[in-house]
Structure 1
Amino acid sequence: MIKKLWSMWDRFWFAPQDLLGLAFMRVLLCGTMVYMYVVRLMNMSYYGENSWIPRSMALEALPELYRPLFLWCIWPDSLNLVMHVLLVVLLVLLTLGIGGRWLMWMAWVINMGFIQRNYSVNFGADIIATLFLFYMSFTQSCERLSVLNLLRKKTAFQFSDTLSSVMIRMMQVQICVIYAYTGWEKLKGGSWWDGTALWSVMANPQMTTMDFSFLRSVPWSIPVLAYTTIIFEVYFPAMVAWPKTRNLWLLAGFFFHAGIGVFMGLGPFATTMVSTYFLFLNPLVLEQVVSRISTRFSSQNETLLKN
């Protein structure tokens, strides 16, 4: 029995895995980060000498529990614009599948520098995206869905090496921990127990993209949405671990985050979270999607050549 349990443990963490799901995650995650940081180029004053938090107090603004020993922003504030443009360029390359572990490490280090330089301007999408970028920097994320695959003669690796397998599992565990933790944290709040928590958000026009005052006519919908949110988050690890309920829970998560993105204007956070779902999908289904896209693309090229 001990040998069997050890074998299961070994397969779970170290067995080769299809890299296509990881590639889809890379495209969506890095593409989301490109959008966020291109938009932030218009707000570089957040990181300058006259920003809300001077450089000398950047670390003190971080929560003490995970305050680092040194500031990752090793460049002077005068180079903030140059480094931010470099970060966007690196993320664009990674979205296209150009680069690898070292390029992703460079992007992560620069990104961490900006996050620590002025922690007060970060959103959930910044923190979550940076977390998964760190995990991905250890993987072969650029092997599949890369523009280089169209040019290079050798065939890309289809299955992961040992380190990539471990990090794929770590990302799966991490997203499960995030959901479960936020769900259990909600249970500490009285407004979640009485079902009024979401109303404080929906009734605030500064936090939504449309007027939800009509929900006062159907008050029972507010606690239903609140309890559904808690159930989805608390039971996410168990439901995605069971193959029979995995796709159902991932579909529910997609609509859950789509609602957050559309009705609360938190699109980058929604796409960042949903990007991890590709790690749970059946690789054969993803292969069929890629095959259909490739076939359609090839047929269109043949049509253009004939014309």
Structure 2
Amino acid sequence: MAAIIQLCVMYLTAGLYKLTGSMWLDGTALYYATRTQDYFTPGLSEWLWKNETLLKGMTYATVVYQVLFPILLLYRYTKYLALLAAFAFHAGIAVFMGLIDFSWIMISCELLLLSDREFQMIFKKYKRFVAWLRMKLLQSAG
């Protein structure tokens, strides 16, 4: 429980801090972050810089997601939405900023939010999906 509370505090304070920054409010923070040598991913960063609408949307979505994260955990279905957003958020950080280790650590921390029953449900759905995919591949090959 302490780790989950810490995760919530971390996201909330990061989001609230971003609300005080002018680059986060005008939607340019991710542009400038990906322009630095440390967070540059060849090919992807240039593509991102050319998509101003996407870049601004990702910047605003980051702030909204971080501020709302603790609130989204209060309800079952919004918890799943928060987890999907967290996985997408950290996958984006890994891909666009090259912070792969950080992203894996954060995703593993967010998995604390799932119960054993939820893990079992996900595993059952995964097994069904793999069986369905095998069947479709066999049908298309035969």
Structure 1 length normalisation: TM-score?
0.38
Alignment match of 1:270 (pick from 103, 117, 120): 103
> How big is the shift at 1:272?
1.3
Alignment match of 1:182 (pick from 8, 11, 14): 14
Q: Matches of 2:56 and 2:96 in 1, distance apart?
A: 18
> How big is the shift at 1:175?
0.0
> How big is the shift at 1:214?
3.3
Task: Describe the shift of the 1:287–1:221 C-alpha distance in structure 2 as closer, same or farther (beyond 3 A).
Answer: closer
Task: State which structure, 1 or 2, has the greater radius of gyration over its C-alpha atoms.
Answer: 1
- 1:196 is aligned to 2:28: yes
Q: Matches of 2:37 and 2:118 in 1, distance apart?
A: 40
* CA contact 2:12–2:66 (8 Å) conserved in 1: yes
By percentage of residues, which structure has more helix?
A: 2
Task: Describe the shift of the 1:177–1:193 C-alpha distance in structure 2 as closer, same or farther (beyond 3 A).
Answer: same
Q: Which residue of 2 aligns with 1:229?
A: 62
> How big is the shift at 1:262?
2.3
- 1:260 is aligned to 2:112: no
Task: Describe the shift of the 1:216–1:280 C-alpha distance in structure 2 as closer, same or farther (beyond 3 A).
Answer: closer
Segments of structure 1 that go 5 or more residues without pairing to the other structure are: 1-168, 294-307
* CA contact 2:18–2:24 (8 Å) conserved in 1: yes
Q: Matches of 1:240 and 1:218 in 2, distance apart?
A: 31
- 1:210 is aligned to 2:42: yes
After superposition, residues 1-307 of structure 1 pair within 5 angstroms as: 169-211=1-43, 212-288=45-121, 289=123
Segments of structure 2 that go 5 or more residues without pairing to the other structure are: 128-142
The C-alpha deviation readout for 1:164-207, integer Å capped at 9, x for no partner, is: xxxxx111111000000000001111111111111102223441
Q: Matches of 1:204 and 1:249 in 2, distance apart?
A: 29
Structure 2 length normalisation: TM-score?
0.77
SS of the counterpart of 1:209?
A: coil
Task: Describe the shift of the 1:278–1:213 C-alpha distance in structure 2 as closer, same or farther (beyond 3 A).
Answer: closer
Q: Which residue of 1 aligns with 2:139?
A: none
Q: Which amino acid aligns with 1:264?
A: M
* CA contact 1:196–1:226 (8 Å) conserved in 2: yes
Task: Describe the shift of the 1:216–1:275 C-alpha distance in structure 2 as closer, same or farther (beyond 3 A).
Answer: closer
Q: Matches of 2:18 and 2:119 in 1, distance apart?
A: 34
The C-alpha deviation readout for 1:137-164, integer Å capped at 9, x for no partner, is: xxxxxxxxxxxxxxxxxxxxxxxxxxxx
Give the aligned length. 124
Q: Matches of 1:275 and 1:248 in 2, distance apart?
A: 16
Q: Which amino acid aligns with 2:47?
A: F
* CA contact 1:179–1:234 (8 Å) conserved in 2: yes
Q: Which amino acid aligns with 2:14?
A: T
